[in-house]
Amino acid sequence: MGGAVSAGEDNDELIDNLKEAQYIRTELVEQAFRAIDRADYYLEEFKDNAYKDLAWKHGNIHLSAPCIYSEVMEALDLQPGLSFLNLGSGTGYLSSMVGLILGPFGVNHGVELHSDVIEYAKQKLDFFIKTSDSFDKFEFCEPSFVTGNCLEISPDCTQYDRVYCGAGVQKEHEDYMKNLLKVGGILVMPLEEKLTKITRTGPSAWETKKILAVSFAPLIQPNHADSGKSRLVHLPPVAVRSLQDLARIAIRGTIKKIIHQETMSKNGNGLKNPPRFKRRRVRRRRMETIVFLDKEVFASRISNPSDDNNCEELEDERREEEETKPSELKPDPPVNFLREKRFTFQPHQGDKTWSLQETEEPQYSVSPTQ
């Protein structure tokens, strides 16, 4: 899948192309896509293809096309503080982008069948946290990944606000996927060759919308040949944050707010002064007239009625320009700090010597010793 938009020279140009083609339509999704470089999730020898609108697969590692991820992110309608479950989380690229939107009070879980892909995703997550400037610009909900088949999730697991499945779902597993949702939640998955958005509007009520035609590899069915028993996947518990975490989040948010306010005050809210449009000055030229009369030529000057007002208009324009000019700040006169301080002469006890002492109030007279 893919190829819907032109390739970019870098991550930003790829995002520009996705916006132009209306795959990215909201500011939150755009910010998340720009914050994480897609090439960072490629193996080094394949990075030349990172900014093409194409899916990539190498062994068990797989990335969907950028246009698909864009439609998924838009359809999920993500908001800060929601819980998200990624079935077939793969490299963690999508989960990390989602985490930038969910913020520190969200929940971000992923289930991946292959343990080597889980290790790859953890390495990429660690690289993002340690090296990306975007990590400091966002309140990040760090994803947690578990190994297992997403069709064997424990029935006592919590339900989620948002669920995405990155593999083709057979019709018989549709109800299983729906039950992972809270009421009001959104499920996005490839169902019968269509990327489908399902909203749970009630305990047993659903709204379904087909987004676009897609082609995904189907979900791998559980294999019970070895033990004959199902190996249930237990998702991470939704833990209450510690007081230390809450304090850290509050301090971090306060520092970011102060830095933002200082930056805005220095830059004047980031807006430059609007350009001042000058009135176009029209140069009026005197009209020279040549009159042919019989065989003689007479050259004369016919006065223009506006000539008399030329000087007045030029004077008005000059005065107007002076009024619109910003007043220049004159430098303050040099300060003599000795003059700013107040001194008084004080006699010494027992002799006739004097000393100069600084006082808080001005003194205007000096008394001699007795």
- Cite the active site residues: 64
CA 286, 292, 294 angle in degrees (round to 5)?
A: 160
Q: Is 267 exposed, middle or buried, given 0-12, 13-18 or 19+ CB atoms closer than 10 A?
A: exposed
11-20 vs 66-76: helix axis angle to the nearest 10?
Answer: 60
- CB hemisphere CA count around 112 (13 angstroms): 25
Region of 174 on the Ramachandran plot (φ > 0 left; ψ -120 to 50 alpha; else beta): alpha
Q: Is residue 142 a contact partner of residue 104, using CB atoms and an 8 Å limit?
A: no
CA pair distance 244, 87, nearest whole angstrom: 31
Q: Using CA atoms, how far apart are residues 57 and 149, in angstroms rounded to an integer?
A: 19
**What residues contact residue 127 under an 8 Å CB cut-off, 6+ apart?**
40
DSSP three-state, residue 340: helix
Paired tokens of 213: 């035609």
* Distance, CA of 264 to CA of 331 (rounded, Å): 26
CA distance 26 to 43: 30
Would you list the DSSP string of 187-238? Answer: EEEEETTEEEEEEEEETTEEEEEEEEE---PBPPPP--TTTSS--PBPPPP-
Alpha-carbon distance values, 66 to 18, 80, 284 (Å): 8, 23, 61
Q: Which residue matches tokens 């002076």?
A: 322
| Residue closest to 39 by CA, chosen among 89, 91, 76 | 91
Question: By three-state DSSP, how is residue 134 classified?
Answer: helix
